[in-house]
Amino acid sequence: MGANNYYLAFAPDAMRRAVITAAKSIGLNVLRAPAFLDCGIAGPDEVPDGAWRGVYFQYWNLKTGRPELNVGENGLARLDILIADAEQAGMRLILPLVNYWNDFGGMDRYVAWFGGRSRADFYRSPDSRAAYRSYVSQILERTNTVTGRRYIDEPAILAWELANEPRCETGDGIRVFLDWVREMSRWIKQKDPNHLVAVGDEGFFANGSTELYNGIYGVDCEAILQIADIDFGTFHMYPQAWKQTDGIGFGFRWIEDHLLAGCKAGKPMILEEYGMTVGGKEGLASATERDSIYRKWLSSIYEEGGAGDLAWMIASTDEETGEPYENYDRFTFYADVDVPSICAHAVDMNAGTGNPEA
């Protein structure tokens, strides 16, 4: 039972701890947050373009001519504190290692560093692959300045994810992407046998005719589940963004198709991102309507034996403004009173009495 928060690993103490406290009040036991913050070119003592309020994890060092880590208080020390705080709160973390999208750097940053032309070059380029492995290796082997443990030994980490919502939208995208997933998942497992590994993909299929099922995004959920070093499958669910007019009915079908795929492969499936917007031109009329939809979806996950689900997204008060942090996308919730459906679902899921045959 969990939720997503995209700034949790970068945030100052008050914002981070407020999110963890809110998550505990709702009954959550997992938070998913990026373990990446890839920035632009800078000298050793400069803050690079793309930093989040002065915080950055990786940048291209103008002096050395290669990507390097920022391990200081405005760098990976923030991730150290998140891991320690999560352990203290009895919370587990799912940590994606790069973003497909250009938010917080992502694959575009690697492509720019090494002179590529498109995001597909992130998967193809030997330089990009080597830089990704270097970053991940340094993360896995990092010694946490708070706990004194290496990340590969941190009990608060539930899983590493190869990327957030990776795609490979080329004619040979599925083949290229699966090759990358096989290589990187095997490599991470060899370095860190203590933690689960997943892809972090949206769960698109390649067995049908419609956009979400025809492989156009270069993602084949069923093929991913056959890769030995991938421990569980992931799928995301955004009916509004995907132009699905029947959000409830689509959600039921999408959930059922993924739980069936996981069952066939003998692996757990997690709905690790889902959400509906409220207000605006495309949003629902009210948070109450959204909560009703969530209740139906989450009942389906519970009754059909899904391994878990993580809402998009939980947030806190912004330390700089004193206002709720960035509810511009109208997905965000802040406390248990905002999502009674998730609170009720947490009770059921934490009791562990879902359908064991699913």
- Nearest Cα to 186, choosing from 133, 233, 145, 138? 133
Instruction: Say if 67 falls within a structural domain.
Output: no
- Nearest Cα to 343, choosing from 24, 41, 88, 16? 24
Instruction: Say if 108 falls within a structural domain.
Output: yes
* Tokens encoding 355: 């359908």
Provide the greatest CA pair distance for the chain.
58
Instruction: Say if 211 falls within a structural domain.
Output: yes
Specify the CATH number for the domain of residue 229.
Answer: 3.20.20.80
Range of the domain at 211: 2-39+83-350
DSSP calls for 148-179: -SBGGG-TTEEEEES-BS----STTHHHHHHH
Reduced to 3 states (helix: H, G, I; strand: E, B; else coil), residue 272 is: strand
- In angstroms, the CA 312 to CA 275 distance is 6
pLDDT (tens, 9 = 90+) of the chain, 358 residues, equals: 999 999 999 999 999 999 999 999 999 999 999 999 999 999 978 999 999 999 999 999 999 999 999 999 999 999 999 999 999 999 999 999 999 999 999 999 999 999 999 999 999 999 999 999 999 999 999 999 999 999 999 999 999 999 999 999 999 999 999 999 999 999 999 999 999 999 999 999 999 999 999 999 999 999 999 999 999 999 999 999 999 999 999 999 999 999 999 999 999 999 999 999 999 888 999 999 999 999 999 999 999 999 999 999 999 999 988 888 877 679 999 999 999 999 999 999 988 755 544 4
Where in the sequence numbering do the catalytic residues fall?
A: 165, 273
- In angstroms, the CA 324 to CA 315 distance is 8
Instruction: Say if 49 falls within a structural domain.
Output: no
Reported as a single tens digit per residue, the pLDDT across 302-318 is: 999 999 999 999 999 99
- In angstroms, the CA 344 to CA 100 distance is 33
Instruction: Say if 74 falls within a structural domain.
Output: no
Instruction: Say if 71 falls within a structural domain.
Output: no
* Tokens encoding 331: 């997905």
- In angstroms, the CA 164 to CA 187 distance is 18
Reduced to 3 states (helix: H, G, I; strand: E, B; else coil), residue 31 is: strand
* Tokens encoding 258: 């993924």
- Nearest Cα to 108, choosing from 38, 35, 181? 38
Distance, CA of 3 to chain centre: 10
Reported as a single tens digit per residue, the pLDDT across 206-265 is: 999 999 999 999 999 999 999 999 999 999 999 999 999 999 999 999 999 999 999 999
Instruction: Say if 276 falls within a structural domain.
Output: yes
Domain count, the chain: 1
- In angstroms, the CA 175 to CA 4 distance is 29
pLDDT of residue 354: 57
Cross-strand pairs, 32? 4, 94
Side chain identity at residue 65, one-letter code: G
For residue 211, how many other CB atoms are within 10 A of its CB? 12
Instruction: Say if 330 falls within a structural domain.
Output: yes
